[in-house]
Amino acid sequence: MIRQVFMLSLAGMCGWIGVAPVQAATADTAQEQAADFTARDFHFSDGTTMSDIRIHYVTLGTPHRDSHGEVDNAVLLMHGTTGTGQAFLTPLMRRELFAAGEPLDTQRYFIVIPDGLGRGGSSKPSDGLRTKFPHYGYGDVVEANHRLLVEGLHVNHLKLVLGTSMGGMQTWMWGERYPEMADALMPIASQPIAMAGRNWLWRQMIVGAIRNDPGWQNGDYTTRPAQWTRVMPIFTLITNNPARMQTDAPDRDSATRMYDSLVATAQKSDPNDVLYWFESSWDYNPAPQLSRIRAKLLAVNFADDLINAADMGVMQREIVAVPHGRFVELPETAHSYGHQTLAHPDVWKPYLVQLLKQ
Which CATH number fits the domain that encloses residue 253? 1.10.1740.110
Q: Which helix (H) or strand (E) holds 140?
A: helix 138-147
Residues 189 and 119 in one domain: yes
| Residue 300 three-state SS | strand
Specify whether the CB–CB gap between 296 and 184 falls below 8 A.
yes
Per residue in 168-203, pLDDT (tens digit) is: 999 999 999 999 999 999 999 999 999 999 999 999
CA 53 from chain centre, in angstroms, equals 19
Please state, in angstroms and rounded to a whole number, the distance separating the CA atoms of residues 77 and 113. 5
Q: Quick one: DSSP state of residue 20?
A: P
Residue 46 burial (CB count, 10 A): 12
Say whether both 80 and 217 belong to one domain.
Answer: no
d(CA 328, CA 308): 13
Do residues 167 and 301 both lie within one domain? yes
For residue 350, count other CB atoms closer than 10 A to its CB. Answer: 13
- SS3 state at 184: strand
H helices of 283-338, in order, are 314-318
pLDDT band at residue 336 using 50, 70 and 90 as cut-offs: confident
pLDDT at 16: 27
Which domain range does residue 216 map to?
202-279
- Are 191 and 65 within one domain? yes
pTM tops 0.85: yes
Strand order in the sheet with 110-114: 2-6, 33-43, 49-60, 110-114, 74-78, 158-164, 182-188, 296-302, 325-330
Domain count, the chain: 2
Instruction: Sort strands 325-330 and 2-6 into parallel, antiparallel or unpaired.
Output: unpaired
Cα 293 to the center of its chain, rounded Å: 20
Same domain assignment for residues 216 and 102: no
Domain-ending residue, one of 233, 251, 279: 279
Cα 77 to the center of its chain, rounded Å:
8
Query: CA nearest 34: which of 103, 106, 86?
Result: 86
Q: How many CB atoms lie within 10 A of CB 325?
A: 23
Q: Is residue 312 located within the same domain as residue 264?
A: no
Closest CA to 186 of 201, 171, 174, 199: 171
pLDDT level of residue 249 (50, 70, 90 thresholds): very high
| Nearest 10 degrees: Cα torsion 197, 200, 201, 203 | 160
Query: Do 121 and 90 share a structural domain?
Result: yes
Q: Final residue of a domain: which of 279, 303, 327?
A: 279
| Alpha carbons 231 and 251: distance in angstroms, whole number | 21
Q: Are residues 124 and 209 in the same domain?
A: no
Whole-number pLDDT of residue 258: 97
**pLDDT at 334 (0 to 100):** 83
Residue type, 230: R
CATH number of the domain to which 47 belongs: 3.40.50.1820
CA-nearest of 183, 160, 165 to 116 is 165
Rounded-to-integer distance, Cα 280 and Cα 183, Å: 27
Question: Nearest to residue 186, comparing CAs of 211, 209, 164?
Answer: 164
- Name the domain boundary from 256, 279, 302: 279
Query: Mean pLDDT across the chain, nearest whole number?
Result: 92
Same domain for 110 and 25: yes
* 86 and 230 within one domain: no
30 and 154 assigned to the same domain: yes
Side chain identity at residue 102, one-letter code: E
Predicted confidence (pLDDT) per residue in 18-54, tens digit: 333 333 333 445 489 999 999 999 999 999 999 999 9
Neighbours of 196 (CB within 10 A): 9
For residues 250 and 343, state if they share a domain: no
Give the total residue count for the chain.
Answer: 358
Mode of pairing for the β-strands spanning 2-6 and 74-78: unpaired
What is the pLDDT averaged over residues 51-79?
97
* SS3 state of residue 116: coil
Per-residue pLDDT tens over the stretch 289-303: 999 999 999 999 999
Give percent of the chain above pLDDT 90: 90
